[in-house]
Amino acid sequence: MTMSTVGAVAAPKITARNVSKIYPSVDGSMLALDDFSLDVADGEFLAIVGPSGCGKSTFLRMLAGLEEISAGAIDIRRSDVPGKPLNSVVFQEYAIFPWKTLLDNVAFGLEMRGIGRKERLETARYWLDRVGLSKFAGYYPHQISGGMKQRVSIIRALANDPEVLLMDEPLGALDAQTRVVLQEELLRIWEETRKTVVYITHSLDEAVLLGDRVILMSAQPGRRLATFDIDLPRPRTIDAMNTTRFAEYRAAIWDQLSREVSRAMEIAP
């Protein structure tokens, strides 16, 4: 088992250097993220775990350009494919349009980019098919289950073919069984697309199952505490969870995370 603390990456796709975030608060200001640095390799699946309130979502929103950076710098390296969006984000809440069919929801990003109707619908159908939703192409979100909605959110992001995919607890709202099915689907799709992914989760199982590396953040203010290289063979399936190796990674991460969770509870008002 390897546990590195530096983890510099050759030719990174994402570089975050000494990133801090200060929010205004009732007592003046609050340091949410402190001097956080990170490289993500091209085609890497990076998982981030940490106690509630440690700044994971803040960091992801900064990666997505949705939140101002107080100090430091973030860079996402563009490929030479023209017209690719820099990122797509999947949040825990299903961010799909209730007034659009599943097909039009998946095609939405492509429409925004000015891609012709025929091509965007073809792409959207391809992705619906990939996750077994072809039959529901003409359905509206209120006619499908939560698991199906989250599938739609995920493939909508993938259909956009972004430089990087940013995911914040994408399976967090799902029941345990649906979650496992979607974890398997994510594994399968990622093995094929090899997108650069930053994936935030509270589930250590999910982090170890999906991640090439798992980064552990400290309780607020969020700092980088440890990095675990997950050296489980690829392609992985859900069966990887039944191995001793998997249990060892999980235990090693939990050992450190549990201390931070206790610390986070002491900090909380």
Ligand X SMILES: Nc1ncnc2c1ncn2[C@@H]1O[C@H](COP(=O)(O)OP(=O)(O)OP(=O)(O)O)[C@@H](O)[C@H]1O
Note the residues at the interface with Mg ion (CB under 5 A): 57
Alpha helices in the chain (DSSP H): 56-63, 102-112, 117-130, 146-159, 176-193, 204-210, 244-267
Q: How far is the CB of 218 from ligand X (least distance, A)?
A: 11
Chain contacts with ligand X (rule: CB under 6 A): 23, 32, 50, 52-58, 220
Identify which of residues 68 and 239 has a Cβ nearer to ligand X in the complex. Answer: 68
Compute the distance between CA of residue 258 and CA of residue 165 in angstroms, rounded to an integer.
28
- Amino acid letter at 155? I
Q: Read off the tokens for 120.
A: 């965007």
Q: CB of 18 within 8 A of CB of 71?
A: yes
Question: Closest by alpha carbon to 20, among 12, 29, 28, 11?
Answer: 29
Residue 256 binds which of Mg ion, ligand X, none (CB < 5-8 A, kind-dependent) = none
Identify which of residues 105 and 220 has a Cβ nearer to ligand X in the complex. Answer: 220
Q: How far is the CB of 74 from ligand X (least distance, A)?
A: 15
| Sole residue written with tokens 């939560």 | 146
Residue 109 binds which of ligand X, Mg ion, none (CB < 5-8 A, kind-dependent) = none
Residue 160 binds which of ligand X, Mg ion, none (CB < 5-8 A, kind-dependent) = none
Q: CB of 21 within 8 A of CB of 51?
A: no
Compute the distance between CA of residue 76 and CA of residue 145 in angstroms, rounded to an integer.
34
Q: How far is the CB of 62 from ligand X (least distance, A)?
A: 9
Residue 124 binds which of Mg ion, ligand X, none (CB < 5-8 A, kind-dependent) = none
Name the packing angle between helices 146-159 and 102-112 (round to 10°). Answer: 30
Identify which of residues 32 and 210 has a Cβ nearer to ligand X in the complex. Answer: 32
Identify which of residues 40 and 49 has a Cβ nearer to ligand X in the complex. Answer: 49
Q: How far is the CB of 239 from Mg ion (least distance, A)?
A: 29
Residue 55 binds which of Mg ion, ligand X, none (CB < 5-8 A, kind-dependent) = ligand X
Identify which of residues 57 and 134 has a Cβ nearer to Mg ion in the complex. Answer: 57
